[in-house]
Amino acid sequence: MTGPVTHRKTSARREAAGVLADGTAVDAVVLANANGVSARILSYGATLQALIAPDAHGRLADVVLGHDDVAGYERTRAFFGSTIGRYANRIAGGHFTLDGTSYQLEQNNGPNTLHGGPRAFDQAIWDIAHIGAEIGEDTEASVTLTHLSPDGEGGFPGEVRASVRYALDADNNLSITMTATTSRPTVIAMTNHALFNLAGLDRAGDGAPQGAMRHRLTIPAAAFTPVDADLIPTGELRRVAGTVFDFRAGRILSDGLRDGTEAQIVIGRGYDHNFVLDKGLTAQPQLAAVLEDPASGRRLEVLTTEPGLQLYTANASDGRNIGKRGTLYRMGDGIALEPQKFPDTPNQPAFGSARLDPGQTYRHVMIYRLSTVRHLDR
């Protein structure tokens, strides 16, 4: 479907988004509702390129980091808004064993494999399979994208058929449903890697460094998974009480980053850690995080069916990555809240299972819920 689809309160349209270096065309689908909220999704990486949201006074702004054109995504591979797979986060040594067979993956993060390796879902051209709304869902606009990952890609076993469905409803919920099937036993964990700045990107480069670090974050998690020098979980589930990892009652992000005595912050050069959500693995999406910007009044809730949430404060951004409107992204300009299975789960059975067998369907549902508040206290 190529033409616009409009319902009472939502709409969807397809448009050209540019070409890659080899001339491959990339398309985009824009989902919008009557409240001014819209999401632009690229076929390259099934990427959330833009998310427009009103502040407490109704002023609209883009709240996700990224690039103005597809060349930026291809050039930098910073995962801005991308669909991550086959396995989100790190696998130690790029290696795991399944049913007695050892698999060596392609490495791209020192000795480890990060976000699927050097050839992964975020670099693929996804097929736009459907645009519109399911029967009866006349207040929800959606796009479904599909991708076939061949057996052995990146070292992973099994031919994997993956699908991502973005849906925006009239109540400002952007849901992302990720599914996958496989031809052979394999491991899989998918997520979205949006980095948020709720102040709005028109203010991200206005001379206010680390603007997103003034956001207030709440995470309902009594424990997190500390990491070693290679950012691989040690296997410990450490209690957050009394540490800068305690977000249960909400805290300003920069407060924790100022604590130079916390070894985990030093190792990660900021927050780059998985939180053990109190809710665990659930059949339906439940609350994983609340992010609030006191200045604009924008509020974002993240819900998920997965048991973990990776908090990442864009620690690798050093001012050399040119983003939207020529902004040079720096550490702290955006915050990633990535619902996921725990990092390195294929090597750490105590973390659960990331296994997917033929005949099964992997399914992860996450929701970005946008709203506003008038007054926020520290």
Is residue 74 among the annotated active site residues?
A: no
Partners of 10 in the beta sheet? 33
Q: Which of 342, 304, 345 is nearest to 187 (CA)?
A: 345
Q: 352: buried, middle or exposed (CB in 10 Å: 19+, 13-18, 0-12)?
A: middle
Pure H helices in the chain: 70-76, 201-204, 253-257, 263-268
Catalytic residue among 74, 140, 153, 338: 338
On the 0-12 / 13-18 / 19+ scale of CB atoms within 10 A, 267 is: middle
Structure tokens at 114: 């990060």
- Is 15 among the catalytic positions? no
The phi-psi region of residue 270 (left if phi > 0; otherwise alpha if psi is between -120 and 50; otherwise beta) is: left
Extract the tokens encoding 269. Answer: 């050069």
Token pair for 160: 């994997």
Residue 58's identity, in one-letter code, is G
Q: What is the dihedral of CA 229, 274, 201, 57, to 10 degrees?
A: -150
Dihedral angle over CA of 48, 279, 251, 226, nearest 10: -90
**Short-list 149, 158, 170, 84, CA closest to 366:** 84
Among 115, 147, 193, 364, the one annotated catalytic? 193
Sole residue written with tokens 């912050």: 265
- Residues facing residue 274 across a β-bridge: 225, 310
CA atoms of 114 and 109, how far apart (whole Å): 6
Neighbours of 202 (CB within 10 A): 14
What is the spatial distance between Cα 343 and Cα 195, in angstroms, rounded to a whole number?
A: 19
Which residues, in sequence order, are CB contacts of 162 under 8 Å at separation 6+?
A: 85, 121, 146, 147, 148, 149, 178, 179, 180, 190
Q: What is the CB neighbour count within 10 angstroms for residue 112? A: 21
What residues are labeled active site?
193, 338
